[in-house]
Amino acid sequence: ITMLVVVIKITITMLVVVIKITITMLVVVIKITITMLMVVIKIMISISISKRMTTVITIMLLMLERIVWMDLFTYLCQIVLRKEVQRQLHQILASIHQRLGSVQYFFVIR
């Protein structure tokens, strides 16, 4: 019984660590993508390309950002977590992602 408790505690701490790492990684990735976006937008403004082009480019960048996001998460899940936990986390992430995505697209299109 004590062994079980220890194992559970260890897995919980591992999960917490993994989640913290993923969050920091995500923050870094998002920061990088945002800076890239800003740079691209500034360049676009300086070249004075039409608005539609800039929107297309921003949408493309957002898509890229999402792909990076998902890849990072799956990679970390595969390394550390068991299959079941991985699946649950993926479901959670997918739902969060959908919400975020619609919001992002709404803003980009407007």
The answer to whether the beta carbons of residues 104 and 62 sit under 8 Å apart is: yes
Q: Is residue 6 part of a domain?
A: no
The answer to whether position 5 is within a domain reads no
pLDDT at 81: 57
Domain-located, residue 82: yes
* Residue 104: Cβ-neighbour burial (10 angstroms; 0-12, 13-18, 19+): middle
Q: Is residue 24 part of a domain?
A: yes
Cα separation values, 39 from 44, 46, 98, Å: 9, 11, 26
Range of the domain at 93: 13-109
Cα angle 89, 95, 100 (rounded to 5 degrees) comes to: 120
pLDDT digits (tens, 9 = 90+) for 43-66: 666 666 566 666 777 777 766 666
- 26 within a domain of the structure (yes/no): yes
Q: Check residue 109 and give its pLDDT.
A: 44
Residue 78 pLDDT: 59
What single string gives the DSSP state of each residue in 58-74? HHHHHHHHHHHHHHHHH
What total of structural domains would you count in the chain? Answer: 1
8 Å CB contact between 66 and 97: yes
Q: How far apart are CA 85 and CA 81, in angstroms?
A: 6
Nearest to 36 by CA among 11, 56, 79, 65: 65
Indicate whether 7 belongs to any domain.
no
Question: What amino acid occupies position 17?
Answer: V
Q: What does the mean pLDDT of the chain come to?
A: 69
Is 44 inside a domain boundary?
yes
Is 69 within a domain? yes
When pLDDT is averaged across residues 89-106 and rounded to a whole number, the result is 60
